[in-house]
Amino acid sequence: MDVLGPGYEAIELPMGEDSEGPVVATLVRRRATDPRRRAVLYVHGFVDYFFQKHLADFYVEQGFDFYALDLRKYGRSLRPHQTPNFVRSLTEYFPEIDAAVRIVREDDGHDVLLINGHSTGGLIAALWADARGRGLVDGVFLNSPFLDINEPPPVRGLGAGLARALHRRFPRAVLPAGVSDAYARSLHRDHGGEWDFDLEWKPLLGFPVRAAWLAAVRRGQLRLHAGLDIDVPVLVMTSRRSVRPRPGVIDVSGGDAVLDVEHMARWAPRLGRNVTLVRIENGLHDLVLSAKPARDEVFGELARWMRGYLPA
């Protein structure tokens, strides 16, 4: 199994079975050479998996041991008998986060834990921190979290309504989604980007959007919109602007080409009692994959927030 080279380990976490058969999650671990008491757990987004080694480098340099989950049916955890990325509820991910946190806290003996979620992983991490994280996490960092559907209200309502109508009887029904490959192409080094990732696990055109998955996301978003009560400091970081890919327009380097950053700013205060919002000029949807000037700003702001809000 690909574990990104020397210093990385992959721990398979059996998660029982669902309607498609056996389920696993994968915990990627990179520990510093000297003992650390602080750790971070990274949770990726939709059509994604952990490959951002420079993110692990940053945290290790800041004095954290690094852990990342490939959630069930994503990346290293995807099995041939499974529908990629498919779940019926976002709470299905909670047991693997629980298992990862037990390893970080109990087996590996860390006293301080930051959970870092990106995009859909940001939504999942926020819901988990609210429901299960008390006493287990000391801070939450959300990188461009998926807090609302990036469509005008009529289209958003139509899509969510269609998913709600289909998700029980036809959970794997594929919903119409105008997916552009412009963002993924802007990232991958074979298509003009800076980064290397597995195109089987993170295809340029993504995976189909299924009715049950979208219905699960929408229930999670509406739960958040009603107000969570995360009891530790939360950092929400977004691009300064959104850009919408159009036919013939391939340059999406100036902003978030996936989600609406104004949605994130609107709903961030509903996360908890202590929320900081930071916007990054020229940040991409995955802010840590932005061009170096924006990426440096991301890491600088994150380091400053951690110094101010996390236990030493």
Average pLDDT over residues 284-308: 97
Q: Is the confidence at residue 55, as pLDDT, over 80?
A: yes
C-alpha distances in angstroms, 250 versus 50, 184, 185, 267, 307? 25, 11, 9, 29, 38
Q: What is the reported pLDDT for 250?
A: 59
Interatomic CA distance for residues 59 and 38, integer angstroms: 10
The answer to whether 86 and 11 have CB atoms below 8 angstroms apart is no
Q: What is the pLDDT of residue 48?
A: 97
* Radius of gyration for the alpha carbons in the chain, expressed in angstroms and rounded: 18
Q: What angle do CA 309, 101, 113 make, to 5 degrees?
A: 15
pLDDT at 160: 67
Q: Mean pLDDT across the stretch 223-237?
A: 98
pLDDT digits (tens, 9 = 90+) for 231-290: 999 999 999 999 987 665 556 778 999 999 999 999 999 999 999 999 999 999 999 999
Bridge partner residues of 9 (DSSP): 29
- Please check the confidence at residue 156 and state whether its pLDDT lies above 70: no
Type of residue at 310: L
Beta strands in 217-270 (DSSP E): 234-239
What's the angle, vertex CA 159, arms to CA 153 and CA 160, rounded to 5? Answer: 85
Residues 6+ apart with CB under 8 A from 115: 40, 41, 43, 97, 125, 128, 129, 133, 137, 139, 140, 141
Instruction: Give 289-298's long-range contacts (Cβ < 8 A, gap of 24+).
Output: 289/52, 289/187, 289/194, 289/195, 291/194, 291/253, 298/143, 298/237
List the one residue out of 27, 45, 55 whose CA is nearest residue 201.
45
DSSP, collapsed to helix, strand or coil, labels residue 298 as helix
Q: Which two tokens stand for residue 121?
A: 């992983």
Q: Is the pLDDT of residue 154 over 60?
A: no
With contact defined as beta carbons under 8 Å apart, do 177 and 163 qualify?
no
What is the average per-residue pLDDT within 307-312?
94
pTM: 0.95
Give yes or no for a contact between 41 and 67, defined as CB atoms under 8 angstroms apart. Answer: yes
* Euclidean distance between the first and the last CA atom of the chain, given in angstroms as a whole number: 35
Token digits for 209? 């959007």
CA distance 297 to 127: 27
More confident residue, 181 or 29: 29
